[in-house]
Structure 1
Amino acid sequence: MPRTPDPVEDDLDTIPPPPPVFHVEQALLGALLLEPQRLASVTGIAADSFSTAAHAALFAAIRSLPAPDPAEHAKNTKWLDQVLAASRDEARGLSATYLHSLIEICPRPGHAPAYARMIEAEHSRRRLSAAAQRVMHTARDTSLPQRVATTLAEADALTAVVDDIATRFPPHSGSLPRTPAPSPATTHDEEAADEERLLLATATEHPSSVDQMRWLTSADFTHPLHAGLWQCLTALTRRSKPVDPVTVLWEAQHRGLLDAGAEPRQLLDLLAVPFGSAERWGERMLQRSVLGTAHHIGRCIEAFTEDPTATPYQLVVGSRRSLADLSSVRTRWQHATSPEPTKRPARTRATAAPRAGPPTTAPPAARISR
């Protein structure tokens, strides 16, 4: 007779098993419930270091209550009843049965410091993941009035988390993460392509602006052809060569841009429609580059945290390397948006008043009396 599926049983089958840190938390809590005096050797963690609300409530209750006398604790469950009552304020589903099962699960109460260190490591992973996700969310939030500033502030908060983890787990040599970094997101943003075309045409019309935009690089362009044309413009201005659509086309030919399928007439038409300010278009492109870089860094760090084989040391090293990419584009953004320093007028040396001295003319000759 065919088996009739049980909806409840089938739903339970889809629940993933708890991660290893769940069992580590059970072992630590069991050790502290069995031998409360071992709490003094547990450092580096707090209630929010635990992965479940029930475990967090139990740890908070254990820390809030005075440790019982070991001899009395071995005779009765009075202290355990106090822990259960205090923890139920935050986790009503806890029971005396679960507390006793935690005691039975703990293999070695003397290993409590090692269990705490494991919990600290996994909590660091969750903190890093949450900070990376905040950076990604902020970088994509178009409703923010100061999107770049807010994203960079979240990046600073992410850096602070990395530094704190490095203090707790100092990195050592040879601890690079083995996690493959996600490839950069490829977006076909027509608005970005239009702004790049306007920048190239306006900069060709006003080549003096190219030298003032050293903060913009070919990596800030979303279209490879546009990035190559920007390299042509910067090369011509650096060599003090004439700049116009024809000279840019000639430079593009030498750089192999026409081999990619771009037609000469197409490039001439692209460079012949200037509009607005090249610096303004460049700032918009650089802004998009800052946000895109921040989002990609968040994805990389999130990928590190999702790899269960990555140690805290590897998370620190990998995260710092990723954040270095944002530091570079951030510096260029500050150069682009900072007002130019006011030039002070050159100081002129005041002419000092002549000092009094002996007369420069000889005194009249004395008259000889006869």
Structure 2
Amino acid sequence: MPHAPEPDEDDFDAIARPQPVFHVEQALLGALLLDPHRLGDVTGIAADSFSTATHAAVFAAISTLPPPEPSEHAKNTTWLNQVLATGRERVRGLTASDLHAFIQVCPWPRHAAAYARMVEAEHARRRLQTAAERLVQTVHDASLPHPIQTVLAQADALTTVVDDIAARFPPRSNVLPRSPAPPPAIAPDRTEAVEEEQLLLATATAYPSDIESVQWLLPDDFTLPLHAGLWQCLTALARRREPVDPVTVLWEAQQRGLLDHGSDPREVLRLLAEPAGSVEHWGERALQRSLLATADYTGWRIEAYASDPANTPFQLVVGARRSLADIGAVRTRWQHATGMVPTPRPRPAPATRAGPPTTTAPHTARAARATR
């Protein structure tokens, strides 16, 4: 009679298989356990660069203990025992079998630097993914007293992570990462946004002279295509110094084809005839929503890039910087709208490759001779 598994038995098929970096980390640790002097070839990583607590504990032990004499290390396990004891201070379950397994899976200890570079690349991907997740979470945090400032601070933190990765992995070319799958089709509640955009359009229709004060507002900042189109109609009429009222805006909308998709002219007239508040106030509200929506989409896109292990750090840098540029564009308009003076953020110097030595005299010396 076939054996029926008990409910509490381990379902080995459900256990996630280790990712390739898991095996890379084991190979690196095995190389360093076999040849501790190769630690000098390993750069760009620390204990927190590893994906498991056990791997991090072993690397921390190797990094802190003085390396043994090669001749002594070949004859006894004294140094390995020290690594085991030190590693157990961080992970109690670490065993001698773990160290033996690391050594067994290492193909070539002389490839330690290459293994370390792979570990660094995977750690960079995880860092980028975490920073992008924080940005998205901040956008959706309704408890923030100053959402724009907090979201922009998280965007700056994400940019810093991208710059750090770029310093270690300078983009070789403008090769974008693989396109992520579209986000889940969850219709957001836009009731408040729609109502405020209607008030903005109606108030701008009633006070067209105020449109010039919100030149930083673009059609893309609106949530509905009809509203974006009506804003284009208003700005066009104001720019041409033509009469602005609900009827002239409706006629401009017809000329632009905005009524071709079933929009009721009576609804448009009603929408434009109920002003309230000021154009600048509603414009800032629309721009704020646009900035938060842009930050949300940027964070989601970078997170999707970083979640794909097929994307290299070089590709992640290119894709992330292009996505962050969208936030930068809206941020600049927000600063113009609110009168905020941007604080220059220092950027790291671009990584350069060493070139051949030159015997050409310095530019200043040549300039001095030229003036004689």
Q: Answer yes or no: same fold by TM over 0.5.
A: yes
CA distance in 2, matches of 1:15, 1:58: 24
Residue of structure 2 equivalent to 1:94: 94
**TM-score in terms of structure 1 length:** 0.89
Name the structure 1 match of 2:293.
Answer: 292
Using the TM superposition, give the Cα deviation of residue 198 of structure 1 relative to its aligned residue in structure 2, in angstroms: 0.5
1:275 corresponds to which residue? 276
Task: Give the structure 1 partner of residue 151 of structure 2.
Answer: 151
Question: Number of paired residues?
Answer: 340
- Is the aligned partner of 1:328 residue 2:313? no
Partner in structure 1 of residue 362 of structure 2: none
1:81 maps onto 2:108 in alignment: no
Equivalence map 1:190-229=2 (5 Å) = 190-229=191-230
Corresponding residue for residue 345 of structure 1:
none
Structure-2 separation of matches of 1:102 and 1:42:
17
What is the rounded CA distance, in whole Å, between the counterparts of 1:274 and 1:257 in structure 2?
21
Q: Which residue of structure 1 lines up, in the alignment, with residue 363 of structure 2?
A: none
Q: 1:181 Cα shift?
A: 6.0
Q: Which amino acid aligns with 1:112?
A: A
Matched letter for residue 328 of structure 1: A
Deviation at residue 6 of structure 1 after TM alignment? 3.7
Partner Cα separation in structure 1 for residue 174 and residue 328 of structure 2:
23
Q: CA deviation at 1:57?
A: 0.8
> 1:199 and 1:179 mapped to 2: Cα distance?
36
Deviation at 1:186, TM superposition (A): 5.2
Matched ranges for 1:162-173 at <5 A: 162-173=162-173
Counterpart in the other structure of 1:23: 23
1:122 match: 122
| 1:33 is the counterpart of 2:48 | no
Aligned alpha-carbon RMSD (Å): 1.5
1:55 is matched with: 55
For 1:72-115, what per-residue CA distance to the aligned partner results, in whole angstroms no more than 9, with x for missing partners?
A: 11111111111111111111110011111111111100000000
Contact 2:174/2:318, CA 8 A, preserved across alignment:
no
Instruction: Tell me which stretches of 4 or more aligned residues in structure 1 moved more than 6 Å.
Output: none
Instruction: Determine the structure 1 residue equivalent to 2:361.
Output: none
Residue type of the alignment partner of 1:203: A
Q: Which amino acid aligns with 1:97?
A: S
Q: Which amino acid aligns with 2:59?
A: F
SS in 1 for 2:4: coil
Cα displacement string for residues 157-195 of structure 1 (whole angstroms, at most 9, x for unaligned residues): 111111111110110225221223635975341010000
Aligned to 1:11: 11
How far apart, CA to CA, are the structure 2 residues paired with 1:314 and 1:32? 30
CA distance in 1, matches of 2:56, 2:242: 69
Q: TM-score, normalised by structure 2?
A: 0.89
Gaps of 5+ in 1: 341-370
- Give, as a single letter, the amino acid of the residue that structure 2 aligns with 1:254: Q
Identical amino acids, percent of aligned pairs: 65
Range with bigger deviation, 126-135 or 258-267: 258-267
SS in 2 for 1:274: coil
Q: Which segments of 5 or more consecutive residues in structure 2 lack a partner in the other structure?
A: 342-372
